[in-house]
Amino acid sequence: MTSMKEAKNLQIKHQLIVHLDYHPTHKELQIRYSYPFSGEHELREQLIRYEESETPIDLRIWLDRFSHFMVHRIPQLRAVRLPHAEVHPDISYGYLTFVVQDQNRAAKVPSARPYYYEEVKPLGSRVEKAVYIERPDLSPEELSVAMHLRAAVRKIAWQAYSELVREYLILQ
């Protein structure tokens, strides 16, 4: 008889969990991958870091296009009411987190979370916010760009993983 844990493990696809963090202003890219399904000997999160000049040009193009779409998903900022004053916040962009592959959320992937900051400079106030977008929320054009981005990042993560376990890799 199979235990619940064993039954759950039988349903797990053997694929990496992959996501990226990209800063659209600084052009910094961090690709992270892991495989937490191996019990005690899980593949902990691995990091691949690119500076702007190191990022492959096609990947940079897809990242910039997708970031542009996500910036337009940020809601219109409302004025901050103060006694006898109204201050319009400035906005600055934080990282865009993009989930490339995660079997636990397969129907929602690709998904994205652009972070941004509302800043009210006279008050020295800065508030971090985010917009969460899942696959069903993406327009056909956004989804097309996301799928190109997804393919490029999956390839990079797989190449890094393959290098990590090169001598043990079993290709079927």
Give the DSSP letter of residue 66.
H
Residue 3 placed within a domain = no
Domain of 136 in residue numbering reads as 12-165
Whether residue 172 is contained in a domain is answered as no
56 within some domain? yes
pLDDT value of position 39: 85
Question: How much is the mean pLDDT over the chain?
Answer: 91
Specify if 170 maps to a domain.
no
pLDDT tens sequence across 104-153: 898 999 999 999 999 999 999 999 999 999 999 999 999 999 999 999 99
Alpha-carbon distance 100 to 17, whole Å? 8
Q: Tell the burial category of 146 from Cβ atoms under 10 Å away from its Cβ (0-12, 13-18, 19+).
A: buried
Instruction: Give the pLDDT confidence score for residue 172 in this predicted structure.
Output: 55
In a domain, 4, yes or no: no
Angstrom distance (rounded) from CA 18 to CA 102: 7
Low-confidence stretches of the chain (pLDDT < 70) are 1-12, 172
* Token reading at 53: 């000049």
Q: CA-CA distance, 137 to 147, in Å (whole number)?
A: 14
Per-residue pLDDT at 21: 98
Amino acid 148: pLDDT: 97
How many Å apart are CA 32 and CA 102, to the nearest integer?
Answer: 12
Residue 147: inside a domain: yes
Entry pTM:
0.86
Which helix (H) or strand (E) element contains residue 127?
A: strand 125-130
Q: How many domains does the chain have?
A: 1
Distance of alpha carbon 101 from alpha carbon 33, whole angstroms:
9
Residue with tokens 């009210």: 120
